[in-house]
Amino acid sequence: MTTRADLASSADYATAVATAVSAAGDYYRDGSTPLGDDEYDALVRAIEAWEQQHPDDVHPDSPTGKVAGGAAVGDVPHSVPMLSLDNVFNDEELTHFAAGLERRLGRQVGAWCVEPKLDGLAVAARYQGGRLVQMLTRGDGLAGEDITHAADAVLGLPATLTEPLDIELRGEVLLTTAQFETANEIRIAHGAAPFAHPRSGAAGTLRAKDRPYRIELTFFAYSAIGLDGLGHSALLETLAALGANTAASTAASPLRCESLEQVHGRIAEITALRSALPFGIDGVVIKADSPEDQFQAGHGSRAPRWAVARKLPAEHKVTRLLEVEWNVGRTGVIAPRAVLEPVNIDGVIVTYATLHNPGDIARRDLMLGDQVFVYRAGDVIPRVEAPLVDQRTGAEKPIVFPEACPRCGDAIDTSGQRWRCVRGRGCQAVASVIYAAGRDQLDIEGLGRTRAVQLVDSGLVSDIADLFTLDKEQLLTLERMGDTSADNLLAAIEQARGAALNRVFCALGVRGTGRTMSRRIAAHFGSMAAIRAADVETLAVVDGVGPERARLVVDELADLGPVLDKLIAAQVGTTVTEPATPAVGDAGEDAVAGPLAGQSVVVTGSMTGDLASLSRNEMNELIERAGGKASSSVSKRTALLVAGEKAGSKRAKAEDLGIQILTPEEFAALVTDYLHR
């Protein structure tokens, strides 16, 4: 790609303009541009820099100074030009923008309004007598495309306002994360290719006509024509009162700030919330709040002078799919992983991404050599969303699916969505043993990878139950295993024999369960034999399991039947576990007493003080021992957040929802009686 440093000649400049114009055309048509936001922004800034040095040689097609880069078109005139926003890319540039605005005004800005920059399509919705009569795209800012046919599928855009006004609402239409996933399920079911990412999905859906299916989108109002004299904060409140959806309905709600320092603080808060929001944002918008400041500052040909977008690093990037690796997990699941041309996404170099399963690859019509959209939000594992089919050159190659297990060469069970080696856990016995011996499971000291490999390769151990039949004579046959080492390992295994049932069950690595769910299942049934005999209906009543997970667990238990029988015979996991935590709202003589009784608790950040040595699983266990219910996400049902160092977006969301927040030290004091049990 041509970068800022590359524009050393008029030829470089001409190439950059052509590339930008082509990319903008794809972007505003259906979002299928081969350039990510960061690359496009860098290219336009390089063009601007060259044009500042060569003002007499500006190309007429240059995207600078034009709404939508001059790429979008429309045939329905706007009543008032529908402009874009200028961008800044760091705090220093934002401070420079604010200083420039105040110089223009000759005084300080009265107040600012800070809100998320939604990653969708700008639209104008016209109302007559309070009834929606027309919806347009922004187009080139002077005229847009009529998309009224799509209005009934746009949630948050009222067909009738609460007052019979003649006004025009302006805002963003997008696909939320849930709507995007649903849209692709619908498209795949109808034999259509999945959308590459939410923005392309929104663009394609708004323009599509006569589809045999319906895809819902969401509207967020941020401006209006016909409601004059209102400050921006007051305007947003008025729009909400008229029945339109605004960002005030989200955790990243618009905030009126009295100073630039507060503006920087709110930008940091919205940025921290980014990965938790149910829709995509690509920046934060900062606007002078008062109508007087806006009027005096005025507008340029492309953007208002009283507002700016503080861009954030893109979470969607385009890169090339180089290869697909097939890895075998400890339960025998054969999982495909994309090998990518390295790409920087939000400060992280991404080389690998998940592909879910073979069926997912086929549905997305992926090929080796494809340019693909890759997505990463927060700490979520990167994933490949879709190929840019129109960018194919003919050199792409089909992805070859394995015909035998990539690890052991045995047959593959392809009956389910997730393919598995027919040997199941036996294919990855070493991984299963290492997992079982881990600190959060059986905590068998001295049983690391080297020992696990020796035990499996020697034929002494084929599953975790075999650990409890080992004797010293067998261990001494292993390389570098002396008397002391053998005695120590046997002592650690014997101690694990008495581990609580929930830890033994967790050590099995049953799909659909984890540490918390293992505690609930173990406490509900009370013995490995009872778990072994459980059916779907019996398991489904355990708090948090439900019918769907219960079916998966029952299938897993059937697969693990021989291992379970050996554990029962060896009397492993007979120690009684603590009572199960009841579901929130349960009562009765079996309800757990404790300082957290019935409360949903979320832990985030690094723990300190008495909690510093606890793993996240141990923190969840502590919560349940104190009567609470451990959760991984903050919601309206969350009663308490334990926020350690670098708490991030979960703390911000909890503050927005008014949820009680405790430091690790305050939480430790609350659960003192349970901390060292």
- Residue pair 550/539 in contact (Cβ under 8 Å)? The answer is yes
Greatest mean pLDDT among 174-188, 229-243, 435-449: 229-243
More confidently predicted of 73 and 526: 526
pLDDT band of 591, cuts 50, 70, 90: very low
pLDDT band of 307, cuts 50, 70, 90: very high
- Residue pair 674/622 in contact (Cβ under 8 Å)? The answer is yes
d(CA 241, CA 165): 13
Mean pLDDT of the chain: 85
As a whole number, mean pLDDT of residues 642-654 equals 83
**The amino acid at 31:** G
- Residue pair 200/192 in contact (Cβ under 8 Å)? The answer is no
- Residue pair 478/458 in contact (Cβ under 8 Å)? The answer is yes
Using the 8-state DSSP alphabet, how is residue 647 labeled? -
As a whole number, mean pLDDT of residues 205-209 equals 88
Taken in order 502, 507, 508, 512, is the CA torsion positive or negative?
positive
Greatest mean pLDDT among 43-57, 286-300, 651-665: 286-300
The angle subtended at Cα 545 by Cα 595 and Cα 496, nearest 5°, is 70
Kindly report, residue by residue over 346-405, the tens digit of the pLDDT.
666 888 888 888 888 887 889 999 999 887 654 456 888 778 887 889 999 999 999 999
Per-residue pLDDT, 179:
93
Per-residue pLDDT, 37:
64
State the CB neighbour count (10 A cutoff) for residue 667: 28
Per-residue pLDDT, 26:
66
H or E stretch covering 116: strand 112-118
Whether the per-residue pLDDT at 1 is higher than 50: the answer is no
Lowest mean pLDDT among 19-23, 548-552, 581-585, 653-657: 581-585
In the chain, what's the furthest Cα-to-Cα distance? 91
Lowest mean pLDDT among 125-134, 243-252, 570-579: 570-579
Taken in order 341, 345, 347, 348, is the CA torsion positive or negative?
negative
Whether the per-residue pLDDT at 588 is higher than 70: the answer is no
Kindly report, residue by residue over 530-587, the tens digit of the pLDDT.
988 888 888 888 877 888 788 888 888 888 888 888 988 888 877 755 444 443 333 3
- Residue pair 97/305 in contact (Cβ under 8 Å)? The answer is no
d(CA 112, CA 93): 16
Per-residue pLDDT, 130:
96
Per-residue pLDDT, 233:
96
As a whole number, mean pLDDT of residues 637-653 equals 84
Q: What are the CA-CA distances from residue 79 to residues 72, 76, 126, 336 (Å)?
A: 17, 9, 10, 52
pTM for the model: 0.58
Quick one: which of 499, 557, 556, 511 has its CA closest to 530?
557
List 117, 311, 317, 629, catalytic entry: 117
As a whole number, mean pLDDT of residues 512-526 equals 82
Whether the per-residue pLDDT at 674 is higher than 80: the answer is no
As a whole number, mean pLDDT of residues 17-24 equals 77
The angle subtended at Cα 544 by Cα 628 and Cα 650, nearest 5°, is 60
Per-residue pLDDT, 40:
72
- Residue pair 644/605 in contact (Cβ under 8 Å)? The answer is yes
Quick one: which of 126, 448, 86, 460 has its CA closest to 286?
86
d(CA 372, CA 338): 11
- Residue pair 131/148 in contact (Cβ under 8 Å)? The answer is no
Greatest mean pLDDT among 36-50, 461-475, 516-530: 461-475
Q: What are the CA-CA distances from residue 461 to residues 426, 445, 458, 468, 476 (Å)?
A: 10, 17, 8, 10, 14
- Residue pair 157/172 in contact (Cβ under 8 Å)? The answer is no
d(CA 40, CA 181): 26
Residue 117 is among the residues annotated as catalytic for this protein:
yes
d(CA 200, CA 26): 10
As a whole number, mean pLDDT of residues 185-200 equals 82
Whether the per-residue pLDDT at 453 is higher than 50: the answer is yes
Give burial (CB, 10 Å; 0-12/13-18/19+) of 629. buried
d(CA 228, CA 224): 9
d(CA 46, CA 71): 18
As a whole number, mean pLDDT of residues 325-331 equals 83
Q: What are the CA-CA distances from residue 664 to residues 2, 167, 312, 609, 611 (Å)?
A: 49, 52, 31, 7, 7
